[in-house]
Amino acid sequence: MSEVVENEKTGALAGMAADWSSDQRAFKGVPWHKAMMWVFLLSDTFIFACFLISYMKVRITTTLPWPSSSEVFALTINGHHIPLLLIAIMTFILITSSGTMAMAVRFGYQKNKNMTGFLLIVTALLGASFVGMQAFEWTKLIVEEGIRPWGNPMGAEQFGAVFFMVTGFHGFHVSVGVIFLIITAVKVLRGSYDNETPGFMTGRKGNYEIVESMGLYWHFVDLVWVFIFAFFYLW
């Protein structure tokens, strides 16, 4: 009886290994760029996870007081001190862009190139607005508060190093996403995917699969921001 069970386990493992060693079986019908996007996002998840875990360790173990987020990230408007106002607007913009990206994917499935291209451009503009606000936030922290990656007059020195590293890495992802969204929008509106025009980021004729791949990337960037928002600004 034990030999039969052992043989079944061996056969099952051999079958699973054969399936995953053959892309024809494991990824049959899946566009290569979509599969590679999932692989990239998985690797990026580990990087951001390492950054956030490092942030938690630094904050828990530091002996100096950690700056209060409600004070550091506050805006003064007409003499009123409003905490986290800019961050709330940035978060709203990025979440809204996730909605426009989802609609772009939906119209892409319907092969409606005008609506798909328009929504991609709107998503790119929202992403660019987010990056611009982040640049304003950095300028305020550096010029007005005197916070640097190597120092912080408001408390623990590690604050500046961890903050600029994590938010800068995320901002870089958003900036790259904006560039590729614009490229994709231009190709969609030109009809490059309807005619299978040769060139950079070209898909199969009459297929808007590349829009879905861009959607995966953009939703990932938005999801990462939710964790950064919770860890840096609410903790």
Same domain, 189 and 84: yes
Same domain, 89 and 186: yes
In sequence order, the 6+-apart residues with CB closer than 8 A to the CB of 52 are: 166, 227, 228, 231
pLDDT tens digits, residue range 19-48? 555 555 556 666 777 888 999 999 999 999
Q: What gap in Å lies between CA 122 and CA 116, rounded to an integer?
A: 10
Residue 126 has pLDDT above 90, yes or no: yes
Residue-range definition of the domain harbouring residue 230? 31-234
DSSP 8-state code for residue 135 = H
Same domain, 111 and 79: yes
pLDDT tens digits, residue range 68-103? 888 888 888 887 778 889 999 999 999 999 999 999
Q: What is the CATH classification number for the domain harbouring 221?
A: 1.20.120.80
Same domain, 17 and 115: no
For tokens 């043989």, the residue is 7
Same domain, 83 and 6: no
Higher pLDDT, residue 178 or 111:
178
Same domain, 155 and 106: yes
- DSSP H helical ranges for 62-207: 69-72, 85-109, 113-139, 158-190, 192-195
**What is residue 26's predicted lDDT score, i.e. its pLDDT?**
56
Same domain, 10 and 39: no
Contact 187, 175 (CB under 8 A): no
Same domain, 23 and 45: no
Q: What gap in Å lies between CA 157 and CA 67, rounded to an integer?
A: 10
Measuring CA to CA, which residue among 212, 128, 142 is closest to residue 171? 128
Position 153 confidence tier, pLDDT thresholds 50, 70, 90: confident
Measuring CA to CA, which residue among 230, 69, 227 is closest to residue 156? 69
The number of domains in the chain is: 2
**One-letter amino acid identity for 207?**
N
Same domain, 139 and 91: yes
Same domain, 8 and 46: no
Mapping DSSP to helix (H, G, I), strand (E, B) and coil, where does residue 148 land?
strand
The rounded mean pLDDT for the chain is: 85
Q: Which two tokens stand for residue 31?
A: 């566009």
Same domain, 22 and 50: no
Same domain, 109 and 19: no
Q: What gap in Å lies between CA 201 and CA 207, rounded to an integer?
A: 12
**What is residue 82's predicted lDDT score, i.e. its pLDDT?**
85
